[in-house]
Structure 1
Amino acid sequence: MTLPRLLHLAECAFMILLAYMVVWRLLPAMPQHPQLVVFLVAELLGVVLILLQRPGDVATGVKPVLVGFGGTAAGLLIVPRGVQLVPDLASTSMILGGVALSILAKLSLRRSFGVVAANRGVYRLVRHPMYMAYIINHIGYLMLYLSAWNLAVYALAWILLWMRTDEEEKVLRADPAYRAYAEKVRSRLIPGLV
């Protein structure tokens, strides 16, 4: 068995375990906060994409593997405990906003996942709108369940997402078209900021 295949299988097994655990933790809280269903679907999409990924597409360097894997896995360690900061409508709106942005990013890509796709839709505002959507979802969750644990989990997830954009940009910047795009669209995650 090749190293990329072995890494992919290990990642899939671990992600399935984490996905099961987060569903198990959030399920009891869903009657009080039904917006968790939408949140969970959005979060588990990352797991599904890993499961559908072809083994040949997996990075084999230690840093890209740890950053990619950790960035997806970290967000699944949240717990449904903490202080609710805002009414359900506000947290639901934030979660739905993250889901809507995620859908817009996918629609902007259409059938193309290359550099050309980055010139339309939400990709005109930030270079990594899918990760921005994750952050919006996470903020919606924190509005519902703010705790030191959840804040630490998401702080780690956000650091790893930023590092993941670094790793992806190293590959993407090899293409002159992407470099030109990055000059036009300066923000990676938050329009006008970072």
Structure 2
Amino acid sequence: MEGKKMEMRYTRVSWADVVEAAAKLLLALMYAVFLYVFMSNFVEHQKLSSLLFAMVESLFVYMSITRRPPVALSTSGLAWLLAFAGTFAPLFLHPSTSADSVAGDVIQVAGILLVGFSIGSLGRSFGLVAANRGVVITGMYRYVRHPLYMAYFVNIAGFLINHVSAYNVVLVVVLVVVQLARIHYEEKLLRKDPAYARYADRVRWRLVPYVL
């Protein structure tokens, strides 16, 4: 309109925002390929474990994309590398065509239940890179500080029983090391929050009560 000036507002976008958006897009594309491979394996070979693994990874991908913005985010390059490795590497696991083990299926189901309980406690405070999205102290977090990682380890153990191969064993070992390193970086960042420091003093165990 005449007599009025048009103002253009620009929103500053940080490098972290760009990297995160690109990571979400790449994750969605890789997830589509992963889902096709594992669901095809389930249909062709009636492997329940493939369906179970696809279910839990689908949940992780969904939580990764819809997570809550952080209060504080790690700027460590290694922390970002570990986050990407821990998130993307499971999508490279290979399904097998051999018959499922009942023990493997039971362990996977137990892992999925633990994942569900953990996410129910965590809500949208889930994240990829070490970040503070608010301190959660209820539900599963009353017993261990990282129940979602614990649930992940249980689920991946069941998967490996049903899809054992040299390739999968090596990748799972790498994944375990990566996830343990992620826990270290998350704790390093979160302990800067007095509320989390008090919580960590109260809940001593990271993964398994009275063990670890």
Distance (whole Å) between structure 2 residues aligned to residue 151 and residue 35 of structure 1: 16
Residue 164 (structure 1) aligns with:
182
Distance (whole Å) between structure 2 residues aligned to residue 63 and residue 71 of structure 1: 12
Distance (whole Å) between structure 1 residues aligned to residue 119 and residue 25 of structure 2: 26
Of 47-56 and 73-82, the range deviating more from structure 2: 47-56
How far off is 1:2 after superposition?
2.5
Residue 124 (structure 1) aligns with:
142
Which of 1 and 2 has greater Rg?
A: 2
Structure 2 counterpart of 1:11, from 8, 23, 32: 23
Structure 1 counterpart of 2:134, from 97, 110, 114: 114
1:28 aligns with 2:7: no
| Secondary structure of residue in 2 paired with 1:30 | helix
Letter in 2 for 1:69: F
Letter in 2 for 1:45: L
Normalising to structure 2: TM-score of the pair?
Answer: 0.78
Confirm or deny: 8 A CA contact 1:108 1:122 kept in the other structure: yes
Of 3-12 and 48-57, the range deviating more from structure 2: 48-57
Residue 181 (structure 1) aligns with:
199
1:69 aligns with 2:87: no
Aligned length: 190
Whose helix proportion is higher, 1 or 2?
1
Confirm or deny: 8 A CA contact 1:67 1:160 kept in the other structure: yes
Residue 102 (structure 1) aligns with:
115
- Show structure 1 runs of 4+ deviating over 3 A: 53-60, 109-113
Confirm or deny: 8 A CA contact 1:72 1:157 kept in the other structure: no
Distance (whole Å) between structure 1 residues aligned to residue 69 and residue 147 of structure 2: 24
Task: Provide the identity percentage.
Answer: 32
Gaps of 5+ in 1: none
Confirm or deny: 8 A CA contact 2:39 2:54 kept in the other structure: no
Distance (whole Å) between structure 2 residues aligned to residue 176 and residue 16 of structure 1: 36
The Cα RMSD (Å) is 2.5
